[in-house]
Amino acid sequence: MGPAVLIWRLAVRDLRRRLTQSVLLLLVIAAATSTLALAFALDGTSNHPWSITRAATAGPDVMVETYPGTHPDLNQLDALAHAAGVIGTSGPYPMASPVLRTGKVTDPVFAEGRDETMPTIDRPNVTNGTWVRPGGVVIERGFADQLNVHMGSQVTLDHRPFRVVGIAVDTDRGANWRPQLVWVTRADAVQLAAQGDKLAYVLNLRLSDPPSAPAFASAHSSPRMFVATWQQIRSSDEKELTVVQIVLLLGTWLLGMLAIGSVAVLVGGRMIEQIRRAGLIKAAGGTPQFVAVVLLAENLFLALAATAIGLLVGYLVAPVLASPSLSLLGSANSPSLTAPKALIVVAVAVAVAIAATVFPALRAARSSTIGALNDPARPPRRHGTMIALSARLPVALVLGLLLAVRRPRRAILTTVSLLITDVMIVCALALHSSFASSRSTDVMVSQPGLGQPLLARVDSVVLVVTVLLVVLATINTIFITQATVLDAQRPSALARAFGATPNQVSTGLTVAQLIPALLGGILSVPAGIFLYRIAARVAGGAPNASLPVPWMAAVIVGTVAVVAALTLFPARAGARRPVAVVLRSD
């Protein structure tokens, strides 16, 4: 009972005493567990909404569309309707391509002409209002949401007024397949086509063997028609989630790596303090195992709290990200955070806690009690060659180089931390560049104009992951800077005692941080483009990633500038402490 009370007391009091560090460590682990939970929650959520919608709308197995023209050939469509394997049809429906205007929004749309009664195949599910009638338009739900139009709204199609009489959902006109879809009566569609001088026809087919749709499509392909199978349409609509999942998975890996780096920074920054504390506990009769248990209890407490946050975020956010859009019925599966997946998240957090415990515990166990109490800092390595080489450099640069070389692992950690963050920023920029130039249209962009829900969704996920990475990298940089400033107090004070000015010392400290920042920034450009290409390939798209040179330069310069800004204040504060005070307190 006694030791348990003591462990609890020591752990809780220490966490409370270094509240900021504890909260930051909690956030770092929570960021990693959140993305992991999200990635797990999104895994396997994609099929059901599309299937539900297809069942509810009696979606066709094959959709055939003639190319717009003034004299479409309907004989070919008729031949297809009577082809072997076809057991039902609906259409052909005339389809015009007018321009829709509502308020300030102008967008080209596909206006499909329908009968006022619903067919047996491809029956759009009217979720609000009624089906088509003369002068009335029914708008696809996802598109209506983007246009911000409602029941009763007035729109124009090629300047002809229409009233919105219904909102509907349909699988063969899904969110990404053809997002800008409206339905009007046959007569209205033909009239609209006459105004625009272009008319296409759509025919929906039901096959006796739906899985054989691709074979049917290839057997009946024609340069004058576009033939799409239900598998193609599903694949197109599911690409959104696939890309989101890839981005999340990528983000999870990057965040995971950065979280480990952050934990190393936070734990490393506290190492001296922890070793002294371990010495104190050992001097009072604590065994090395007891010290390890106290350290573990602290980190475990944080890790479990972070896991709870991560699972909660995963549970709450996954449905938002997984929801394929308003274009499909139902919702994505409830986040599939099953017990085994939740256990994996817990295991990862516990592993982080153990990793955070092992090094200080081992050092505490290895160091003699009195050594830990008196001089817990490990002496830095001396690099004579570097010192000799730097003899001709300006004082500030020499001080910066010496500081960077004194703690090579810290410099590497800074480089890696910034590299990981910049890699994600480069990926995000490459994605934007790709969107802008529409190079990878087969995956990322289906249509120009308003109807690009996929782009918006991927964009927001990339933004979330990038922001998380930037926050973590900022925390890392602040802690590493603080640790460097603290560590450099004595050598800086000595340098000042021998004539260096506070400005030279603070510039030296800044230089020590800028070297890894520059390295991380430069390496991130090729690494980010490489990673983006892999991700695009996995997503099934064209891996054409290129980043304009000014953007590349902005990543590098931006990284260096941000690190300089984050370093300058603590460096200046550290360099202005009176020399005598620093040397006396050492």
User: Which positions lie near other proteins, rule CB under 8 A?
Assistant: 1-3, 5-6, 9-10, 13-14, 16-17, 277, 280-290, 365, 368-371, 373
User: Which CB sits closer to other proteins, 294 or 468?
Assistant: 294
Number of residues in the chain: 586
Q: How far is the CB of 303 from other proteins (least distance, A)?
A: 20
Contact by Cβ (8 Å): 255, 35: yes
User: Which CB sits closer to other proteins, 9 or 163?
Assistant: 9
What pairs with residue 96 in β-bridges? Answer: 111
User: Which CB sits closer to other proteins, 87 or 283?
Assistant: 283
C-alpha–C-alpha distance, residues 4 and 206, integer Å: 70
Contact by Cβ (8 Å): 240, 324: yes
Contact by Cβ (8 Å): 122, 177: no
User: Which CB sits closer to other proteins, 13 or 224?
Assistant: 13
C-alpha–C-alpha distance, residues 235 and 483, integer Å: 51
C-alpha–C-alpha distance, residues 282 and 274, integer Å: 12
Q: How far is the CB of 280 from other proteins (least distance, A)?
A: 5
Q: How far is the CB of 385 from other proteins (least distance, A)?
A: 23
User: Which CB sits closer to other proteins, 369 or 474?
Assistant: 369
User: Which CB sits closer to other proteins, 18 or 133?
Assistant: 18
Peptide bond into 92 cis (omega under 30): yes
- Provide the phi-psi class of 200: left if phi over 0, else alpha when psi is between -120 and 50, else beta: beta
- Give the list of residues 6+ apart from residue 273 with CB closer than 8 angstroms, or none: none
User: Which CB sits closer to other proteins, 163 or 366?
Assistant: 366
User: Which CB sits closer to other proteins, 94 or 279?
Assistant: 279
Q: How far is the CB of 8 from other proteins (least distance, A)?
A: 10
Question: HEC string of 45-94?
Answer: CCHHHHHHHHHHCCCCCEEEEECCECCCCHHHHHHHHCCCCEEEEEEEEE
User: Which CB sits closer to other proteins, 373 or 568?
Assistant: 373
User: Which CB sits closer to other proteins, 221 or 289?
Assistant: 289
Q: How far is the CB of 436 from other proteins (least distance, A)?
A: 54
Q: How far is CA 466 from the centre of its chain?
A: 6
Q: How far is the CB of 356 from other proteins (least distance, A)?
A: 19
Q: How far is the CB of 288 from other proteins (least distance, A)?
A: 6
Q: How far is the CB of 13 from other proteins (least distance, A)?
A: 4
User: Which CB sits closer to other proteins, 6 or 105?
Assistant: 6
Burial of 253 (0-12, 13-18, 19+ CB in 10 A): middle
Q: 237-251 burial, b for 16+ CB within 10 Å, e for fewer?
A: bbbbbbbbbbbbbbb
Q: How far is the CB of 383 from other proteins (least distance, A)?
A: 21
Q: How far is the CB of 371 from other proteins (least distance, A)?
A: 8
Burial of 478 (0-12, 13-18, 19+ CB in 10 A): middle
One-letter amino acid at 44 equals G
C-alpha–C-alpha distance, residues 322 and 231, integer Å: 20
Q: How far is the CB of 373 from other proteins (least distance, A)?
A: 6
Eight-state DSSP code of residue 155: E
Query: How many CA atoms does the CB half-sphere of 572 hold within 13 Å?
Result: 6
